[in-house]
Amino acid sequence: MQIKENTTHAIQILRYLHKNQGLQTAQNVADAVGITAPLFKRIAMWLKQENLITHIAGRDGGYTLGRPAEEISFYDVFWLTKGELYPNNHCAKRDINCEGENHCKLHQFIKITEHFIIEDMLGTSIADLA
């Protein structure tokens, strides 16, 4: 499983916005999370596309959660930031004796494991992580 750095940053941004109600400036969020403002804005753009955060422009504007933290799952962010559970397509060594997904015991085991991991991610909200 590979959790990308952008996934971690996105989770930290959402946790920060959950803990700090009200509009937050890009610079305040970036500083609190430990990233640059340009990186924050790039990640914020992805989060806004999925309505995980909202942005109000202007002098008195800022960022806030787009919906309650209890309704945003870890999987929402993992999927959005292109995390991969098993990037090697199951058979890591590309075994020439592999009988395919329906008959290979390794494929079946990883598919079941992947299902449980996704279920855990779906069942874990930003509020749970805060």
- Which CATH number covers residue 58? 1.10.10.10
Q: Which pLDDT value is given to residue 20? A: 95
Distances in Å between the Cα of 96 and the Cα atoms of 91, 100, 117 are 10, 10, 28
β-pair partners for 77: none
**Structural domain of residue 56, as residue ranges?**
5-129
Count the domains in the chain. 1
The 10s digit of each residue's pLDDT in 56-100 is 998 889 999 999 999 999 999 988 887 666 555 555 555 556 666
β-pair partners for 84: 2
Counted residue by residue, the chain has a size of 130
pLDDT above 70 (res 51): yes
Cα separation, 46 vs 36, in Å, equals 16
Q: How confident is the model at residue 101 (pLDDT cuts 50, 70, 90)?
A: low
Residue whose pair of structure tokens reads 């800022």 in the numeric block: 62
Can you give the pTM of this predicted structure?
A: 0.82
